[in-house]
Chains A and B, each alone.
Chain A
């Protein structure tokens, strides 16, 4: 049974591990999340009847593990979820990737853990709505609605941040300096 688990995991391993790192926005914490998810998955593998569903089943364990990390008492919720954000400010960032990550971290702050996983899977891991519907056990329409709401929340979070900081003149033009994509409007 265990051999079958590892056999099914092997093709998923690189992407699943990368997904955990992206979710936690930190390699060490991502690896912790991944290891915890694998331990849980291995212990409960016997309960998986349909081995064709191994991928959504594994990702569901990861997503639940991620959500449970943010399930904490209300008096601790105000604490910054991503303290490493500020650490990247003073370092050089020639290709703009740290800046990009910083903007995304800000945008993700407006999302619930569930919305964060959804956006990460859709935008960065390139899952389609059918795969997401299977993972979350909801309809494709519901996935599209959640994505719509999540994107709107991300825009509003960034918009609020820019407004506040432009007012207090704390953001420099250089902070917007991101590599331009081909589809950019600016």
Chain B
């Protein structure tokens, strides 16, 4: 028999087990614990057999409690005291609330490093070489569309001309810049836009918040078609090209479903 098994039998009070007795002869640790178990066992037996002291007469205890000043006043307890009492009494609930609080603090306070798209760069390559490109109309055209902070650089070589437009706030701006360039210069090339990524530090909450967007919908006085157009215009203004809104009306109920390319929602 192993010590583990011997201690289990001691715990269950099976102290006359033959295997256990044999083990106790060979193992001084378990023998000492058995001695302790025997002492406790006999002490408990002795106290069980002890005569119970006479209880206080019921009428006496009733009179004593009833005449106590505290028996006639209900303890004033604040909401906080009640809450503390309930939480103390329900350990699982307190543990759950503590865990939720810790998770909330972790979610809102602990910073993590993550990448954030801060804009787009557009490269138009493969333009026929030879002519100098006048970029002023392109800058004016983009400014007219509300993009004030763009910058344009050009690279001329013997085989091709390339143009870089930077400072574009979102993907839609890059698409518009490509179209504006082709229209105003009459030159064609291969457009490629790449996101500009920056490493930032922030909480998980901040990360989620950055990816949230809001769409305002006016329900009263607008037809479903007007609402659809309004939502799609807002999505486009936020750079979500190809975003689609489906507005369906069934009696008083109206349902709006918004689909954004590249998203499952």
Contacts and interface: CB of A to CB of B under 8 A. Distances in A.
Is the A/B pair a real complex? Answer: yes
Interface of A: 2, 6, 10, 13-14, 17-18, 21-22, 27, 31, 34-35, 38-39, 42-43, 95-97, 99-101, 103-104, 107, 123-124, 148, 151-152, 154-159, 162-163, 176, 178-181, 183-186
Nearest to A151: B11
B21 interface: yes
B96 interface: no
Pick from A2, A100, A152 the residue with the most CB of B within 10 Å.
Answer: A100
B42 interface: yes
A172 to B, nearest CB: 15
B36 interface: yes
B61 to A, nearest CB: 7
B53 A124 contact: no
B11 A100 contact: no
B152 to A, nearest CB: 71
Nearest to A34: B61
Given A18-B52, A178-B39, A43 B11 contact: no
Interface in B181-224: none
A17 B55 contact: yes
Interface stretch (B27-35, B101-109, B122-130): B27-35
B65 A42 contact: yes
A91 B33 CA distance: 28
20 contacts: A35-B61, A38-B65, A39-B68, A42-B71, A43-B74, A43-B75, A95-B46, A97-B47, A101-B43, A107-B43, A123-B44, A124-B48, A152-B11, A156-B33, A159-B36, A181-B41, A181-B46, A185-B16, A185-B34, A185-B37
Contacts of A27: 53
Nearest to B65: A38
B33 A14 contact: no
A33 B58 CA distance: 16
Interface of B: 7, 10-11, 13, 15-16, 21, 32-50, 52-53, 55-56, 58, 61-62, 64-66, 68, 70-71, 73-75
Contacts of A148: 11
B40 A155 contact: yes
B27 to A, nearest CB: 13
Interface residue SS majority, chain A: helix
Contacts of B44: 100, 104, 123-124
Nearest to B35: A162
Given A43-B70, A159-B32, A18 B39 contact: no
B50 A97 contact: yes
Nearest to B42: A178
Contacts of B74: 43
A104 B47 contact: yes
A10 B60 CA distance: 12
A181 B48 CA distance: 11
A100 B50 CA distance: 10
B55 A155 contact: no
Nearest to B20: A185
A183 B13 contact: yes
A143 to B, nearest CB: 14
B11 A35 contact: no
Given A35-B61, A42-B71, 4 more contacts: A13-B55, A43-B74, A100-B46, A186-B35
Contacts of B47: 22, 97, 100-101, 104, 124
